[in-house]
Amino acid sequence: MAAKIPANGKSRTPASAKSSAENNDKLNSLEQDRTDGAGAVLTTNQGVPIADNQNSLRAGVRGPSLLEDFILREKITHFDHERIPERIVHARGEAAHGFFQVYESMAKYTRAGFLQDPSVKTPVFARFSTVAGSRGSADTVRDARGFAVKFYTQEGNFDLVGNNIPVFFIQDAMKFPDLVHAIKPEPNNEMPQASSAHDTFWDFVSLVPETTHMVMWVMSDRAIPRSLRMMEGFGVHTFRFVTAEGVSSFVKFHWKPLLGVHGLAWDEAQKLAGKDADFHRRDLWEAIEAGDFPEWELGVQIIPEEDEFKFGFDLLDPTKLVPEELVPVTRIGKMTLNRNPDNFFAEVEQAAFHPGHVVPGIDFTNDPLLQGRLFSYTDTQLIRLGGPNFHQLPINRAISPMHNNQRDGLHQQSIPKGRVAYEPNSIANGDPKEAPPEQAGYVSYPERVDGAKVRVRSESFADHFSQARLFWLSQSAPEQDHIVSAYQFELSKVEVPAIVERMLGNLARVDETLAKRVADHLAMAVPALDKKMAAEASAAIVPSPALSMLNAPKDGIKTRKVAILAADGVDGKAIAEMKAALQGAGAMAKVIAPHMGTLRSTSGDAVAVDHTITTMPSIAFDAVFVPGGEQSIATLRGNGDAVHFVLEAFKHCKAIAAVGEGSQMLASVGIPTESDPGIKLPDGIITAAAASNAVAQEFIKAIAEHRFWTRAGKDAVPA
């Protein structure tokens, strides 16, 4: 490529010199596509005003409709073509706009413009998704979550298309269609929807042991997040950073949520899938509408080129992670999501992410899964978005100038001027010209590549069990319990015994205890391992505390939802005080009652009701407060939905506080309270004779803990 200075003498200003205001202006230039019909007249697509949008044109009042009714024909035709193919994977998703700011220049590691100047706000669009389900499937199913971020930088779009799990099922793109066919609903009857608990998935993974590590993550609470705002994200593959001087290092990307990392209870996740299939979508939308903008810090693990072979695994193997204890995660910037889309289809559905959208300073490695992805994402958009011009859709457009000699194709939106659509040319002064590297032209890292053309898997990818073992042994006891229950649940649904047996064999290679616990539940035996395998499966490991969700910070209750369970005759003062304390700590408190409208309080004041007990079950909340008031508690004790509300919150290990007669509500459903002599209250249960600031503070502390997974008596409560 010849490096040329543009004849017109203009050079591109380095991104670091651009102000965030300018970035925002560029983004605003995309806003011209946002339209609404405020104050407008209804027209056809040709701009013809429509006089009657109620009736089709017909021959006689009761006669047949006429073919010449261009208004009806246009309307119906457009409607008939409203649907486009949903994404083959990650079909169910939601997204938001926001911005990213780097904390300090990363010039030492990368020339990427958006990672240089802390004053520059780079616009982003982040989409979260489940993997297996269709577009209309439920949010809270057990699945990995996609975590895709499009950075609209001054040097073009950079897409970080990751997941909330740091490793992937398979090592080579060649196996991706097989994996997806196995996890999707079975082809004969299209069941089950959005679930891995069926024969074909377990058949495949039991036969492909490299899946063992990721499957274990999917069986953990990571796969049933409490909120999209409370999950980590990972780039998964090893990428490269490259400096302006051409020096490269390996990099692993992480997203760290500032609200902590939390999961649901499995029973809760299943019920939410029915009672609020949009649970995660709603949660993200409402938080942003309320001004509680979710934030993640971008973390990087940087590995110098010369350390490539220093680990006991291959950095190119996407089934392996680099433990944070070996290479710390440095937090280099922050993403804030602060604006919901205006139109789901135009923005979320038409967003086209691609791991191959990189900017100068970021490059690929030879990870064979990443290499396959580099082909797949453009290819899929060609069918999904109907042609090669999907980059012109407003949501996909770069904010940096875009000029080249690509022309025509379906849905061309621009009108390129002039005679020239080739390069080199003399007629148009040689424009548009190549940008030499010093003007941020993209130069691939000149990695040396040398080898025979072969279809083989590198020996360095051969170990499939030790990191699964690392993950398992780094979990706390309740997290291990949840993993065991998930395997028990899923494998109980598998009908072919040989598949389960094979799976137990794979689990035994991770850890005998794990395999035995799962096997006992299934009334099966753990297959015997040979000596070498048995030795590997009992090898000592150094745990990685960062892999346990329970070790993530639990330092606040911002944006948590607390239900205040009440009926007529409630202690209004207790509600007001608790509400103030919770809201002061950043939580949301909602009064839930048997009916809408207002409640009469003991003091005679009216208490506004936010939701009824039947429309907002306890699974929609993080914690429950039961205030006193004799009449209120008498009503609630006689109301099966209210009783279920409290019991369910207890079963799901949530913080529950009750004051005054509220304690009787707990006592009547068998939950020990402060009035039971000599009994230790279960973890996360707070009861007191009267409301006080001390009780509120204790409750806030308990909510911050998220869940009390080891709570005594939880399993005795019916689901």
- Please say whether the dihedral angle defined by the alpha carbons of residues 327, 328, 331 and 336, taken in this order, is positive or negative: positive
322 binds ligand HDE (CB under 6 A): no
272 binds ligand HDE (CB under 6 A): no
Shortest reach from residue 379's CB to ligand HDE, in Å: 7
Q: Which residues pair with 337 in a beta bridge?
A: 98
160 binds ligand HDE (CB under 6 A): no
Peptide bond before residue 424 is cis, with ω within 30 degrees of 0 = yes
Closest C-alpha to 559, from 277, 335, 291, 336: 291
Instruction: Output the CA–CA distances (angstroms, integers) from residue 178 to 183, 188, 378, 457, in the order listed.
Output: 9, 16, 20, 17
Of 129 and 248, which has the nearer Cβ to ligand HDE? 129
Shortest reach from residue 234's CB to ligand HDE, in Å: 7
Phi-psi region of 524 (alpha: psi -120 to 50; beta: other; left: phi over 0): beta
Strands of 227-266 (E only): list them: 233-234, 239-242, 248-257
Which contiguous run of DSSP H or E holds residue 200?
helix 199-207
Q: What's the gap between Cα 696 and its chain centre?
A: 32
89 binds ligand HDE (CB under 6 A): yes
Of 250 and 625, which has the nearer Cβ to ligand HDE? 250
Shortest reach from residue 164's CB to ligand HDE, in Å: 9
Shortest reach from residue 58's CB to ligand HDE, in Å: 44
Shortest reach from residue 89's CB to ligand HDE, in Å: 5
Residue 281 · residue 139 · CB < 8 Å: yes
- What residues contact 690, with CB distance under 8 A and at least 6 apart? 628, 659, 660
- What residues contact 276, with CB distance under 8 A and at least 6 apart? 282, 620
369 binds ligand HDE (CB under 6 A): yes
Residue nearest to ligand HDE (CB): 146
Shortest reach from residue 381's CB to ligand HDE, in Å: 6
Q: Footprint of ligand HDE on residues 173-202 (CB under 6 A)?
A: 173, 176
Of 127 and 509, which has the nearer Cβ to ligand HDE? 127
127 binds ligand HDE (CB under 6 A): yes
Catalytic annotation, pick one of 23, 157, 163, 340: 163
Shortest reach from residue 438's CB to ligand HDE, in Å: 32
Of 128 and 709, which has the nearer Cβ to ligand HDE? 128
Phi and psi for 468 in degrees, rounded to 5? -65, -40
Residue 482 is a catalytic residue? no
Shortest reach from residue 231's CB to ligand HDE, in Å: 13
Shortest reach from residue 348's CB to ligand HDE, in Å: 8
Choosing from 253, 353, 487, 709, the residue that interacts with ligand HDE (CB under 6 A) is 353
171 binds ligand HDE (CB under 6 A): no
Stretch near ligand HDE under the rule CB under 6 A, chosen from 14-22, 162-170, 484-492, 515-523: 162-170
Shortest reach from residue 130's CB to ligand HDE, in Å: 10
For 651, half-sphere exposure in the C-beta direction (CA atoms, 13 angstrom radius) is: 19
Choosing from 99, 109, 168, 253, the residue that interacts with ligand HDE (CB under 6 A) is 168
Give the single-character DSSP code of 685.
Answer: E
For strands 623-626 and 248-257, give the pairing. Answer: unpaired
Stretch near ligand HDE under the rule CB under 6 A, chosen from 81-89, 279-287, 541-549, 675-683: 81-89
Closest C-alpha to 370, from 252, 514, 513: 252
Of 93 and 260, which has the nearer Cβ to ligand HDE? 93
21's tokens: 């205001």
Shortest reach from residue 318's CB to ligand HDE, in Å: 6
Q: Footprint of ligand HDE on residues 611-650 (CB under 6 A)?
A: none
664 binds ligand HDE (CB under 6 A): no
Of 369 and 666, which has the nearer Cβ to ligand HDE? 369
Residue 601 is which amino acid?
S
Catalytic annotation, pick one of 23, 90, 157, 482: 90
Angle (deg, nearest 10), helices 477-492 and 266-275: 60
Of 376 and 598, which has the nearer Cβ to ligand HDE? 376
Give the single-character DSSP code of 575.
Answer: H
Residue 160 · residue 306 · CB < 8 Å: no
Burial of 30 (0-12, 13-18, 19+ CB in 10 A): middle
Choosing from 18, 90, 226, 560, the residue that interacts with ligand HDE (CB under 6 A) is 90
Shortest reach from residue 86's CB to ligand HDE, in Å: 9
Stretch near ligand HDE under the rule CB under 6 A, chosen from 156-164, 211-219, 596-604, 689-697: 156-164
Q: Enumerate the H helices of 403-538 as residue ranges.
A: 466-473, 477-492, 497-510, 512-522, 531-536
Of 87 and 509, which has the nearer Cβ to ligand HDE? 87
3-state DSSP assignment of residue 501? helix
Of 88 and 596, which has the nearer Cβ to ligand HDE? 88
Residue 191 · residue 266 · CB < 8 Å: no
Give the single-character DSSP code of 549.
Answer: G
Residue 244 · residue 365 · CB < 8 Å: no
Q: Which residues pair with 248 in a beta bridge?
A: 242
The end-to-end CA distance of the chain, in Å, is: 66
Shortest reach from residue 678's CB to ligand HDE, in Å: 53
Of 163 and 602, which has the nearer Cβ to ligand HDE? 163
Of 164 and 687, which has the nearer Cβ to ligand HDE? 164
Report the 10 Å Cβ neighbour count for 19.
Answer: 12
316 binds ligand HDE (CB under 6 A): no
Stretch near ligand HDE under the rule CB under 6 A, chosen from 83-91, 447-455, 468-476, 634-642: 83-91
Stretch near ligand HDE under the rule CB under 6 A, chosen from 46-54, 70-78, 111-119, 157-165: 157-165
Of 168 and 204, which has the nearer Cβ to ligand HDE? 168
Phi and psi for 159 in degrees, rounded to 5? -105, 125
Residue 214 · residue 164 · CB < 8 Å: no
Residue 196 · residue 490 · CB < 8 Å: yes
Give the single-character DSSP code of 476.
Answer: -
Interface size with ligand HDE, residues (CB under 6 A)? 25
351 binds ligand HDE (CB under 6 A): yes
For 443, half-sphere exposure in the C-beta direction (CA atoms, 13 angstrom radius) is: 22
Residue 171 · residue 369 · CB < 8 Å: yes
Phi and psi for 708 in degrees, rounded to 5? -110, 75
88 binds ligand HDE (CB under 6 A): yes
Per-residue contact string for residues 371-410; x = within reach of ligand HDE by CB under 6 A: -xx--xx--x------------------------------
87 binds ligand HDE (CB under 6 A): yes
228 binds ligand HDE (CB under 6 A): no
Stretch near ligand HDE under the rule CB under 6 A, chosen from 168-176, 199-207, 301-309, 664-672: 168-176
146 binds ligand HDE (CB under 6 A): yes
- What residues contact 612, with CB distance under 8 A and at least 6 apart? 592, 593, 594, 595, 596
Residue 163 is a catalytic residue? yes
Report the 10 Å Cβ neighbour count for 657.
Answer: 28
Choosing from 148, 216, 219, 399, the residue that interacts with ligand HDE (CB under 6 A) is 148
162 binds ligand HDE (CB under 6 A): yes
Q: Which residue has the tokens 């073009």?
A: 156
236 binds ligand HDE (CB under 6 A): yes
Task: List contacts with ligand HDE (CB under 6 A).
Answer: 87-90, 93, 127, 129, 146, 148, 161-163, 168, 173, 176, 236, 318, 351, 353, 369, 372-373, 376-377, 380
Q: What residues are annotated to the active site?
A: 90, 163
